[in-house]
Amino acid sequence: MRGRVLAIPALLFVVACDEPPPPATLREVPSAFVGAWDASLGECGHGGSLAVSVAPNEIRFPDSTIVVTGVAPDGQDAARVDGKFTSAEASWNGAVRLELANGGRELNVVNGSTLAPRVRCP
């Protein structure tokens, strides 16, 4: 029992030492991420459940929208997008991570867990 009690403070100490996220240095989403994205080329333009539209100042999902307040680039292929989220049920401030893959032909949107990759629509 005593070993468990000592392990908890040690764990809390490690968590408290995490570095803060990098600051948002951009006001817009970089152009490499801008465009329409969906589950497959066949789904493009049909507004499916995985459709994402990325503009410099806004990201639209089928069920919510993010108005961009700042962007923290992470190299050329990833960025954290901070913003005001709005859905039919609520509004909140938060962030998502955008990651390009396969030479910029795929987009991963990470918000706690990676969602299905999306392809760039023509």
Q: Using one digit for the tens of pLDDT, what is the confidence trace for 67-113?
A: 999 999 998 999 999 999 999 999 999 999 999 999 999 999 998 76
Query: Under CATH, which architecture does the 22-120 domain have?
Result: Beta Barrel (2.40)
The answer on pLDDT for 2 being more than 80 is no
Query: To which residue do tokens 């987009």 refer?
Result: 107
What are phi and psi for residue 54, nearest 5 degrees? -110, 120
CB 119 within 8 A of CB 105: yes
Query: To which residue do tokens 């893959």 refer?
Result: 101
The answer on pLDDT for 24 being more than 70 is yes
Helical ranges in the chain per DSSP H: 2-16
Residue of 75, 79, 56, 78 lying closest to 66 (CA atoms): 56
Domain boundaries, the chain: 22-120
